[in-house]
Amino acid sequence: MEEKFLLNNDDRERESATFLESSRRSQAIWADLPKNPQKYRVLTGERPTGPLHIGHLFGTLSNRVKIQELGATTFIVIADYQVLTDRDSADAVGTNVHEVILDYLAAGLDPENGRTFFFSHSHVPELNQLLLPFMNLVTTAELDRNPTVKEEIRAAGLKQVNALMYTYPIHQAADILFCKGNVVPVGRDQLPHLELTRKIARRFNDRFSPENPVFPVPDALLSDIPLVLGTDGQKMSKSRGNTIMIRMTPEETAKVLKGAKTDADRNITYDPVNRPEVANLLRLISICTGEAPEAVAAAIGDGGGGRLKAALTEALNAYLAPMRERRARHAKDPGYVKDVLRRGVARAREEAVATLEQVRKAMNMDHGLH
């Protein structure tokens, strides 16, 4: 791999500084959101690379539902172009978009409330066109030092880096700014992209519309839920087989959890440092039942890994039951899923057309046509 794509100490230092500052701003927004939900335009989303699992559910989806319930308008981008950054085949994208929408509906995101919209960015040409003016505001050196891009290049084992992988953080800025999103609920790994989005917004405003800023400078909204690990104690990911998908049956869930990693000590205690796998399973029970992980551990006592896994299976299946029921109902009606997407795309396009018009005007490219 080219050396410039290896993570170095400067990258790491910048990353922690960004994290600290973003956390501070995120806390202030969490405090204000319930009081002033109408101030916030929320934009977030993911790449449609497969059905969503409980890592997504507890890490981001439940947060989105919470924000939706507070009354903020929420746009969710299904970033289908971005799927191709680290793989060649688009074969599964169609199915995955459908599956992801079912997972959103299952989790409780509600496109019938008039405030929640799902769209695929491939269907919003005016959003994609923002890429051109935005590319002009970013240097190649800035793209070179994006730690998340570097990590993805490493994880995918890429020998060559295609220009989409290199530039997708600019595309992500277009995803956020096309609708003037000012709050972006994301995990820590997405903060470098958000930093770039903030720079693009500021630079565009400074250069082309200093009197009357076109774009807000968006903030990340971080979740305080600790990272959920896979059943083997490693990062949760489909390719490792260590995940529980929202769409699994209770039996499939029980089977995966039977294989979960624990340790040799039969006495169950909550000790995240010395017993990370056991602690992860306890935390999952705690998320589902609302009981503190220490109390869950005490109740299991010396019942061992078997009792722990049985308790988790029961708690998780009960927690997921209403979501799975909703998912199954919508899965029987593909026409509805399509309709939800069609409406989301239509609404996103309205926003994108209006923003692009403003952008052209600010850049002296309206040519008297609007």
Strand, helix or coil for residue 76: strand
Consecutive H or E run containing 120: strand 116-120
Given candidates 44, 96, 116, 262, which one binds ligand TRP under the rule CB under 6 A?
44
Considering the rule CB under 6 A, would residue 22 count as an interface residue with ligand TRP? Answer: no
Q: Is the distance from CB of 146 to CB of 176 less than 8 angstroms?
A: no
Considering the rule CB under 6 A, would residue 77 count as an interface residue with ligand TRP? Answer: yes
Considering the rule CB under 6 A, would residue 46 count as an interface residue with ligand TRP? Answer: yes
Considering the rule CB under 6 A, would residue 205 count as an interface residue with ligand TRP? Answer: no
Give the number of other Cβ atoms within 10 Å of residue 269's Cβ.
Answer: 16
Q: What residues are paired with 219 via a beta bridge? A: 183
Considering the rule CB under 6 A, would residue 175 count as an interface residue with ligand TRP? Answer: yes
Q: How far apart are CA 349 and CA 126, in angstroms?
A: 7
Considering the rule CB under 6 A, would residue 297 count as an interface residue with ligand TRP? Answer: no
Give the residue nearest to ligand TRP (CB).
Answer: 79
Least distance CB 241 / ligand TRP (angstroms)? 21
- The stretch among 6-14, 184-192, 215-223, 284-292 that binds ligand TRP (CB under 6 A) is 184-192
Residue closer to ligand TRP (CB basis): 77 or 93: 77
- The stretch among 10-18, 43-51, 227-235, 352-360 that binds ligand TRP (CB under 6 A) is 43-51
- The stretch among 171-179, 276-284, 327-335, 348-356 that binds ligand TRP (CB under 6 A) is 171-179
Considering the rule CB under 6 A, would residue 180 count as an interface residue with ligand TRP? Answer: no
Considering the rule CB under 6 A, would residue 45 count as an interface residue with ligand TRP? Answer: yes
Given candidates 100, 176, 221, 248, which one binds ligand TRP under the rule CB under 6 A?
176
Q: How far apart are CA 45 and CA 53, in angstroms?
A: 14
Q: Is the distance from CB of 71 to CB of 115 less than 8 angstroms?
A: yes
Compute how many residues bind ligand TRP; rule: CB under 6 A: 14
Q: Which distant-in-sequence residues (6+ apart) come within 8 Å of 44 by Cβ?
A: 60, 64, 74, 75, 76, 77, 184, 185, 186
Site for ligand TRP in 47-66 (CB under 6 A): 47
Residue closer to ligand TRP (CB basis): 44 or 231: 44
Helical pair 9-32 and 147-155, crossing angle rounded to 10 deg: 110
- The stretch among 3-11, 76-84, 133-141, 286-294 that binds ligand TRP (CB under 6 A) is 76-84
Which amino acid, residue 332? K
Smallest CA-to-CA distance from 21 within 195, 180, 142 is with 195
Q: Cα–Cα distances in Å, from 115 out to 214, 323, 352?
A: 22, 20, 17
- The stretch among 101-109, 182-190, 210-218, 303-311 that binds ligand TRP (CB under 6 A) is 182-190
Considering the rule CB under 6 A, would residue 79 count as an interface residue with ligand TRP? Answer: yes
Considering the rule CB under 6 A, would residue 186 count as an interface residue with ligand TRP? Answer: yes
Q: How far apart are CA 113 and CA 69, in angstroms?
A: 10
Least distance CB 79 / ligand TRP (angstroms)? 4
Q: How far apart are CA 308 and CA 301, in angstroms?
A: 9
Consecutive H or E run containing 183: strand 183-185
Q: Is the distance from CB of 189 to CB of 181 less than 8 angstroms?
A: no
Residue closer to ligand TRP (CB basis): 165 or 296: 165
Give the number of other Cβ atoms within 10 Å of residue 343's Cβ.
Answer: 15
Distance of CA 71 to the CA centre of its chain: 20
Q: What residues are paired with 30 via a beta bridge? A: none
Residue closer to ligand TRP (CB basis): 43 or 54: 43
Residue closer to ligand TRP (CB basis): 53 or 309: 53
Query: Which residues contact ligand TRP by CB under 6 A?
Result: 43-47, 77, 79, 82, 172, 175-176, 184, 186, 190
